[in-house]
Chains A and B, each alone.
Chain A
Amino acid sequence: MDMQNNVLDYLSKIVKEKPDKTAYSDGTVSLSFLEVYRQSRAVASFLHRKGIYKKPVVIFMKKSPLEVAAFFGTVAAGCFYVPIDEEMPAGRIQLILDNVQSPLVLCDESTVETAKTFRLGAGEVVLFGQAVLEEIDDAALEDIRRRAIDTDPVYIVFTSGSTGIPKGVAACHRSVIDYIERLSEVLEFDGDTVFGNQSPLYFDACLKELYPTLKFGATTYLIPRELFSVPIKLVEYLNTYHINTICWVVSALTMISAFGTFETITPKFLRTVAFGSEVFPIKQFRIWRNALPEASFTNLYGPTEGTGMCCYYKVEREFEENEAIPIGQPFPNREILLLTPEGKLAGEGEEGEICIRGTALTLGYYNDPERTALAFTQNPLNTAYPERIYRTGDIARKNEAGELVFVSRKDYQIKHMGHRIELGEIEVNVDMLSGIRMAACIYDEKKTKIILYYVGDPSEKELASLLKTKLPRYMLPNRTIRLESLPFTANGKIDRVALKKRYEAG
């Protein structure tokens, strides 16, 4: 067999082996592999007839198996998908649309009216339900497939940017395939895997479920978001669908363990639990482990710029309550360099910035050469030929066992409820509102709260409702406090340390 160079090779292969098995379901709508295959090829044929090739296609649909088919349809047309969602505030969606300049926005009935309210340039709005009726043009799709190159993009997903403008991370086929192969090997996915997906489809976190499902002919359940507010019903859902594998943010797991859910009901089929994006409090972790003594627990770490996750740590020993679970080691075929500010390798036990090298590196930020150049740089240890590394801004060190341990951030980026947030992005959005003179955010790690201080005319109440139109829900401050003035440091910057002290003093 030829070496795989397209993520859809997984689909072409599995549709012959397990055409009728359920691939994706949300409990209401289910699609078999054959249906996913046919729908994606119909959508691809539609895009082809429109002359859309090697272009970003915006997918604006409610989370469902049909949205997944739309993703693959985009890829089968030789294009790449840009998922957006109604959970995103309008201002952010417009910034994304302005950045990608997509010729087409694929919608469903629930989003089409909203979609028409945006400035789309030369782009048009089309219903998925219409595109999927297109007659499949096998010859054209075959030709597109034959000309495919594995360094072309699969998707663009947007992540928080400190200037207030989100950054579109574009990842290519080769990086995604490499990630799926390594992740599957480490977490031991197979044809019997039943995934319970938690992450929204507009983040790279959903790669963990979507593509291994194709690779192995597994099944993914897209769990309705509302269930993450109702722990007992959530566990009932896991049991109803025999879900055995979950890769969730820590806050979704602790929501279950912190409220005594396991005294009423335990997950009966779970055997693989992966988690990441934030620190797992050991007390909560122990509750999970006691409830599921046979299951494997794996901590995952990785920035979107490194295509999904980059490092893993299988939790196989006991931890003290004040101890942090390590990031562990990189997946095969990628290397983590811990670099000092001088661009040298950190010595034994010394701290350094986590820098990634290998196929896992994404292509960079879409339509944004300046910010790409700042984060994706030449490997300072290699002066012989061009070789990019990605600088994560995360500081880590190695422990006595040689495992990577997260230490801190270089900047004002935080991890809040599993989301990566630049506090600067919140501040810029506040600063832009009329009547605001200045603003600064701090983060309370213990209570996981974002606290916004500002000086200006709007009341705390007015400011909170204005911000809801600008920022995604997870970026909204948990407390908003108006002050007469903000403290300054000697060199004229807002003194966040003083703000934090003031906050801690109550």
Chain B
Amino acid sequence: MEILQDLHPDVDFETEEHLVDDKILDSFDIVSLIAEINDNFDIAITAKDILPENFNSAQALYELIRRLEEEA
């Protein structure tokens, strides 16, 4: 959540559910987001997981991270 707030301090990430579809996050945001997540959580988000549905809300992103942590 902190990583997302740093990216766009003015967006309410608790409620937004269409971060990618509504172009709140663009491709460069996604790239820096993934780099930060991979650094902080010791997981590797790869191209297979880079789909709009995994990045549309903080909740979806959280679930992606959980899933990858379990697989690791």
Give the interface of A toward B (CB within 8 A): 225-226, 228-232, 251-252, 254-256, 258-261, 263-264, 417, 447-449, 460-465, 468, 473-474, 478-480
Given A449-B32, A474-B28: A260 in contact with B10 (beta carbons within 8 A): no
Name which residue of chain B comes closest to A231, CB basis. B47
Query: Is B50 part of the contact surface with A, judged by Cβ < 8 Å?
Result: yes
- In the complex the two chains form, is A478's CB within 8 Å of B32's CB? yes
Instruction: Give bound CA distance, A465 to B11, whole Å.
Output: 8
Instruction: Give bound CA distance, A230 to B53, whole Å.
Output: 11
CB distance from B27 to the nearest CB of A (A): 4
- In the complex the two chains form, is B47's CB within 8 Å of A417's CB? no
CB distance from B8 to the nearest CB of A (A): 7
Most-contacted residue by chain A among B7, B26, B28, B47 (CB, 10 A): B47
Q: Which of B10, B45, B55 contacts A465 (CB 8 A)?
A: B10
Instruction: Give bound CA distance, A480 to B35, whole Å.
Output: 19
Name which residue of chain A comes closest to B8, CB basis. A464
- In the complex the two chains form, is B31's CB within 8 Å of A255's CB? yes
- In the complex the two chains form, is A461's CB within 8 Å of B32's CB? no
Q: Can you spell out 25 A-B residue pairs with CB atoms less than 8 angstroms apart?
A: A225-B27, A226-B52, A229-B25, A232-B48, A232-B50, A251-B31, A252-B27, A258-B31, A259-B34, A259-B47, A259-B50, A260-B44, A260-B46, A261-B47, A263-B46, A264-B47, A417-B28, A448-B32, A461-B9, A464-B8, A465-B9, A473-B26, A474-B28, A478-B7, A478-B32
Name which residue of chain B comes closest to A229, CB basis. B27
Give the interface of B toward A (CB within 8 A): 6-10, 20, 25-28, 30-32, 34-35, 44-48, 50-52, 55
Instruction: Give bound CA distance, A491 to B46, whole Å.
Output: 49
Name which residue of chain A comes closest to B49, CB basis. A259
CB distance from A453 to the nearest CB of B (A): 14
- In the complex the two chains form, is A229's CB within 8 Å of B32's CB? no
- In the complex the two chains form, is B52's CB within 8 Å of A464's CB? no
Please indicate the chain A residues that have their CB under 8 angstroms from the CB of B47 in the complex.
Answer: 231-232, 256, 259-261, 263-264
